[in-house]
Structure 1
């Protein structure tokens, strides 16, 4: 079969997490061909892959959300739209009424629009936005509303107009833009659509927008509603939705995904890959490791504040933050300035590294994210037999405490952004070597029992076969 995996803001531009998950899935499914539909934020990422693509990747389709900057605009046009078409666009722009995505796809891909930017500079758009402001945003300056809505939906319209490769199965690995493209593929070719939701995309965007300085207060609800509408698109269109743990399933149902579509397939790791890792020097230091991208959603600033408190209680502690720094360089610079402002010593940013060369040297591991799904970094650390301190996000509490499995805890959980409680949990583990070893053994046992890599691959292999019908092997000569 030919499977189109649609990824937003991850594979193949960024390592770790969802990207590692995609790479593992493709590598293990040599009987299938894969197309990667990669959605990036900025065109400067084009061709800058962080992975050597497996031989069964037959095509990479790149599209970037900033492509609208290159479009020329004709102002003041007027398009002949039916009442149904006007209602469809009004629902897309303002969130009022039922949004029929098939109608959106049919309209925006029709020959009525040579250039979607023209519509957003047209009298039709002006009229519909004026109607929205009159009934819903009476106190918002019209010019601000005009440019805000335009910047919000223009990347979406361009994505819908883009070419979608034909495939036997479309597999989106998030909602959002990736979900819309998956639904578009199904609309164009009638192929089945699978969604795997690692974290809850719409909730993550909501958290970012609430904190964002670039979104004015009266536009925050508009942006948040927009991202929930994107999620609705694939929840409605998907033939099967996969999530990683029970709480995510409950949230998806709350957000409108039909319960009967959802099944749970946990992530998995090979514990054998994490045996006999290099150990650290006997120099009296307590090494605290964090395998994490340096981006706001991972809340590195809370991590640094926590470690500053830890150093007062455990002077021989060292914090080793392992992960790429270039994804959000301004945030990385802010973190460096925070280290200076806190006057805290023994903080090391390694950049992107081979994590297995470091894990064995760590005494405990740390994750302070404000949102997660079922983080592979935690599963990999558990496979290495390391205890954790995590925030109570995603499935972290379930991973560390189990679900009445009789194994025992393999770490401590603290509230999101509560740096004092995070610090106290770290200090507790730093001061008790026996507890660290017990939790490390529990961690390894839980992964071996419930989070096997082989089970994860087997479940997806069966799922692809069910959705796509008979599996057609492709030539061994290509694989070789």
Structure 2
């Protein structure tokens, strides 16, 4: 099977999102052939290069989202009219609805069809006449947006949009629609694959939508982090980093909501990473019958030594928190809870292990947490110097992975008998799964996919409730046998559900299921002139060897792998046979 793997800001680049699970998926499915179509997010990401690609990657084609030169394509009057009609329909579909929720969650079939028709109309225009960059930035586009905002029944928040707001929206819509202008959809591009697999929603799925529209290629959409949700949480800035206005945010949220709904509507199968993501998809119109939950695969082997040893080497009075230090993790509530824990268990200690989030906000929040810890909890007075009590260690420590006390991540989890998660916002809790691999009992807040991940092998409390968090921690600190039972059950659950092996097996089955339900696109004819329906099975080759076509003799295999070059001229195809740049420490 030939898979077109669609990525945005990740694989095969050294830096970015989802590169690790994509690499494991490609390496684990060596019986298939992969073509990678990657959208990059920054010049720095492209300059850092790619990770080393396995031999089953036939080629890589890349295009930048972070820059686009005006293509210089001049449209005649007829084509300009065609563009104005398509973009006007797109703008009208974006602005339709009485409120943001109405525009996204309860969109009528008519509005969804209107958005899809306009989107594919623009794609057809780009294929017939050339790129859309200049047109999407033009005054025609801004005027179409303005007309849609002033139309009866438009979004309430968008009715007050001014020219600067419309310019912001037009610029961001142009950026999101840059895949429409790519040459990926014909001439042995995505039209030649058996299946498109988009590794995230949003812009990454757009090439798959066009391949499905132009060539009937089935689309598999995987979301481990719902792109629409991420946009809602982070859509407060424009492309220049300025705070976007309320009308601009409303219009952009509606656009991304329509795009997500179109991807869910056209995808053959949708694979969320957990039930939390699945609920988002269903509220945006995804058909429940086409959804298959596939949990992320994580490397359990690195935690095997810690998990097998249990709590033997752990301090029975130490609680461990591991993660990125930012306000969403609510360390403030954790510190207030620990102050109550210390009153009940004076020997208890808390180790906060992790680096602050990037930017000034992360450093400020870390400083706030340290000041709060010093205020809530006194220093220990554990020794004397010349008859005077001296200040010793603080019961709360802030550390980073790689330090003397926690040189590796498994050793961080091994340091304590109990792992705590105090988040108020969480998607799939990776640190919780790592704690489960390590055989540790956990106390977590009920957010995101926490309950689904834990499944009865840990204690769960309401978020922003320090008293409940403290009581659950004290209960486990005082009951080592219960801690041990929960830790063992958590490890068994994680090994069953969250390993790389289960992830690869699940996608292997889904690939075969999709292909078995799609019509054959490549017909092989026998010597008699009759078609051979089973001449090209879904798994037509094994690692390192391809089966010969019917009626042909096997050709001599060329030595060495045949992956594509990296990184090529921006927006162009990679050249097969050229050397591959390798990113150190990428996997």
Q: Provide TM-score, normalisation by structure 1.
A: 0.81
1:106 aligns with 2:124: yes
- 1:200 is matched with 226
Q: Superposition pairs for residues 161-310 of structure 1, below 5 Å?
A: 161-164=181-184, 165-166=189-190, 167-209=193-235, 214-246=243-275, 248-268=277-297, 274-277=303-306, 286-290=318-322, 292-293=323-324, 299-300=328-329, 302-307=330-335, 309-310=337-338
Quick check: 2:14–2:45 contact (8 Å CA) kept in 1?
A: no
Cα distance in 2, alignment partners of residues 369 and 145 from structure 1: 34
Structure with greater contact order relative to length (CA < 8 Å, sep ≥ 6): 2
**What is the number of equivalent residue pairs in this alignment?**
464
Instruction: Give the alignment partner of residue 387 of structure 1, picking from 431, 441, 444.
Output: 441
Q: Give the 3 Å change call, closer, same or farther, for CA 138–378 of structure 1 in structure 2.
A: closer
Question: Which has the larger Rg?
Answer: 2
Q: Give the 3 Å change call, closer, same or farther, for CA 471–438 of structure 1 in structure 2.
A: same
Quick check: 2:94–2:115 contact (8 Å CA) kept in 1?
A: no
- 2:81 is matched with 81
Quick check: 2:313–2:414 contact (8 Å CA) kept in 1?
A: no
Report how far residue 217 of structure 1 moved: 2.9
Quick check: 1:179–1:233 contact (8 Å CA) kept in 2?
A: no
Q: Unpaired runs of 5+ in structure 1?
A: 403-408
- 1:347 is matched with 398
More helix by share: 1
Instruction: Give the alignment partner of residue 132 of structure 1, picking from 141, 148, 154.
Output: 148
Cα distance in 1, alignment partners of residues 64 and 461 from structure 2: 37
Q: Superposition pairs for residues 303-452 of structure 1, below 5 Å?
A: 303-307=331-335, 309-311=337-339, 313-314=341-342, 316-322=348-354, 328-344=358-374, 345-350=396-401, 355-400=409-454, 402=455, 409-416=456-463, 418=465, 421-422=468-469, 425-451=472-498
Cα distance in 2, alignment partners of residues 463 and 316 from structure 1: 48
Quick check: 1:175–1:234 contact (8 Å CA) kept in 2?
A: yes
Q: Unpaired runs of 5+ in structure 2?
A: 98-110, 375-395, 516-536, 546-558, 563-587
Q: Give the 3 Å change call, closer, same or farther, for CA 195–115 of structure 1 in structure 2.
A: closer
Quick check: 2:276–2:427 contact (8 Å CA) kept in 1?
A: no
- 2:544 is matched with 475
Q: Give the 3 Å change call, closer, same or farther, for CA 85–169 of structure 1 in structure 2.
A: same
Cα distance in 2, alignment partners of residues 458 and 439 from structure 1: 27
Report how far residue 162 of structure 1 moved: 2.9
